[in-house]
Chain A
């Protein structure tokens, strides 16, 4: 009988038999993550696809700026053995290039365009990964990189409203909180009936 524990064991054995796994992580009861080398990603994805993980649920990237690496994450799902598999691979951050997985999962076309737009990772093999998808007329470094400062960009691009005085509650001169508490105390003192 199949159950989720069997499935997890099967996945671990299967992946380890195919490629060299750097790190295994169990995300939750139905999700396993395998970190592999960049060159093994395509082999692993195609073997998983023939083993039944036919759905590529998501493709994204993570910026590990301290390590100077990008991490690609591919999430696959199997409709017969309900286990999500994350395939992770760290790639160079200075010159980020990751071969496209279009021959394996054609649906990754738009995900790769999105990743290119938000992280600047190149996907040779995807004919139009450079076309804009979400950001229109972007004129700065890709916005999901950790060295991009959205506040600076927002201050530069969008006019801000000027306020004549500081309405902030953190302002020491703003005593509206004390006033509110004094009002509450007075309201309680005026309240009739049984005192609590």
Chain B
């Protein structure tokens, strides 16, 4: 009689092994998300209550991170001017993968109250992929927290694939960036 304690090792394909490791990685990743807060606009005012004792982001395992290379989430809070977008693309491309983008407020969705401004872009997902939008002008803190929970669920369901789309449609994103920005490289007297 065969021992029930012994399970024969099935020969898994490389994709299967990769998938299992990604699932393990995603489990730990979604329970320990580090955010790079790119506080571009007024929605940043929702973050202090979300981070401090009122809503306590730490209970979701989230924390602020100071540098892009160590962060998982790029949090775009509010409107993006052309200048800021240029720096935001810099920051996004510096982040290590997998990387996720959460956009707060109505400005990254359709321009919000700045829809006819000469300096503010209208749609963030034309330039970098966005995983979770939190709508509202401004969204209240519950919805911000809910957006983070949504992102965790998306990571669990393997649908937070913005960073893969960025690789897949890299030319398209670059073309949009160049159409609106002229050039992505920063040329000013402080960078020379």
Residues of A whose CB lies within 8 Å of any CB of B are 131-132, 134-137, 139-140, 143, 148, 150-151, 153-154, 157-161
Minimum C-beta distance from B173 to chain A (A): 12
B182 beta carbon closer than 8 Å to chain A? yes
Which A residues touch B109, using CB under 8 A? Answer: 161
* Closest chain B residue, CB of each to CB of A148: B118
B189 contacts A131, CB within 8 Å?
yes
In the complex, chain A residues whose CB is within 8 Å of the CB of B116: 150-151, 154
| A136/B188 in contact, CB under 8 A | yes
Counting residue pairs across A and B whose Cβ atoms lie within 8 Å, the total is 54
Flag the segment in B38-46, B54-62, B119-127, B155-163 that touches A: B119-127
Chain B residues contacting A151 (CB-CB under 8 Å) are: 116
B contacts, CB < 8 Å to A? 82-83, 86, 109-111, 115-123, 126, 176, 179-183, 186-189
Decide: B181 and A137 in contact? CB cutoff 8 A: yes
Are B176 and A160 interface neighbours, CB within 8 A? no
Docked Cα-Cα span, A160 to B120, in Å, equals: 12
Would you give 7 A-B contacts (Cβ < 8 Å), ordered by A? Answer: A136-B188, A154-B111, A154-B118, A159-B123, A159-B176, A161-B109, A161-B122
| 10 closest Cβ pairs, A-B complex | A137-B182, A151-B116, A150-B118, A161-B110, A158-B122, A153-B118, A159-B126, A143-B118, A158-B121, A154-B116
Extra pairs beyond A154-B115, A154-B118, A154-B120 (10, CB < 8 Å): A136-B82, A136-B187, A137-B182, A150-B117, A150-B118, A154-B122, A158-B123, A161-B110, A161-B111, A161-B123
Q: CA of A153 to CA of B82 in the docked complex: distance in angstroms?
A: 13
Q: Are A160 and B123 in contact (CB under 8 A)?
A: yes
Min CB distance A22 to B, Å, is 33
Q: Which of A131, A132, A148, A158 counts the most B-chain CB atoms under 10 A from its CB?
A: A158
Q: Which of B83, B110, B180, B188 contacts A157 (CB 8 A)?
A: B180
The CA-CA distance from A158 to B115 in the complex, in Å, is 9
Bound: A164/B190 CA distance, A = 44
Contact check: which of A131, A135, A148, A160 meets B122 at CB < 8 Å?
A: A160
A139 nearest CB neighbor, chain B only? B182
Cβ–Cβ < 8 Å partners of B126 in chain A: 159
Closest-by-CB residue of B relative to A133 is B188
Contacts of A154 on B, CB cut-off 8 Å? Answer: 111, 115-118, 120, 122
Q: Which residues of A contact B183 (CB under 8 A)?
A: 137
Q: Which residues of chain B are near A160, meaning CB under 8 Å?
A: 110-111, 115, 122-123
How far apart are the CA atoms of A80 and B67 in the complex, in Å?
A: 46
> A90 vs B149: C-alpha distance in the bound complex, in angstroms?
58
List, in ascending order, chain B residues with CB within 8 A of A150's CB: 116-118
* Cα distance A137–B183 in the bound complex, in angstroms: 8
Q: How far is the CA of A161 from the CA of B111 in the complex (A)?
A: 9
Please name the residue on chain B nearest to A154 by beta carbon: B116
